[in-house]
């Protein structure tokens, strides 16, 4: 299952990072601009390299659902169908 993410770069400095740059060049320009405004302070260009996601369940369908709800299973004590198999 692929993620629809584009690569991006962040500039880390003294405050919170709040903009994802679409190119490395854009992030470098921003780091240079911030460095000019804040002499002596370092600004680091960070590249997003991986994204991790846990997917616990994936629902697979077998076509269109039936319009008729099934009744109780023969021999069971269930009185009505309630989506609970026990």
Residues 6+ apart with CB under 8 A from 46: 9, 10, 11, 12, 17, 27
The pTM (predicted TM-score) of the whole model is 0.60
* Per-residue confidence (pLDDT) for residue 1, from 0 to 100: 56
Query: CA of 25: how far to CAs of 29, 32, 70, in Å?
Result: 6, 11, 61
Q: What is the pLDDT of residues 24-38, one digit of tens each?
A: 999 999 999 999 999
């Amino acid at each position: 299952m692929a993620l629809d993410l584009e690569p991006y770069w962040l500039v880390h400095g003294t405050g919170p990072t709040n903009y994802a740059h679409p190119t490395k060049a854009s992030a470098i320009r921003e780091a240079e601009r911030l460095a000019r405004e804040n002499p002596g302070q370092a600004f680091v260009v960070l590249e997003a390299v991986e994204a991790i996601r846990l997917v616990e369940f994936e629902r697979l369908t077998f076509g269109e659902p039936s319009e008729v709800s099934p009744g109780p299973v023969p021999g069971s004590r269930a009185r009505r169908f309630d989506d609970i198999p026990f």
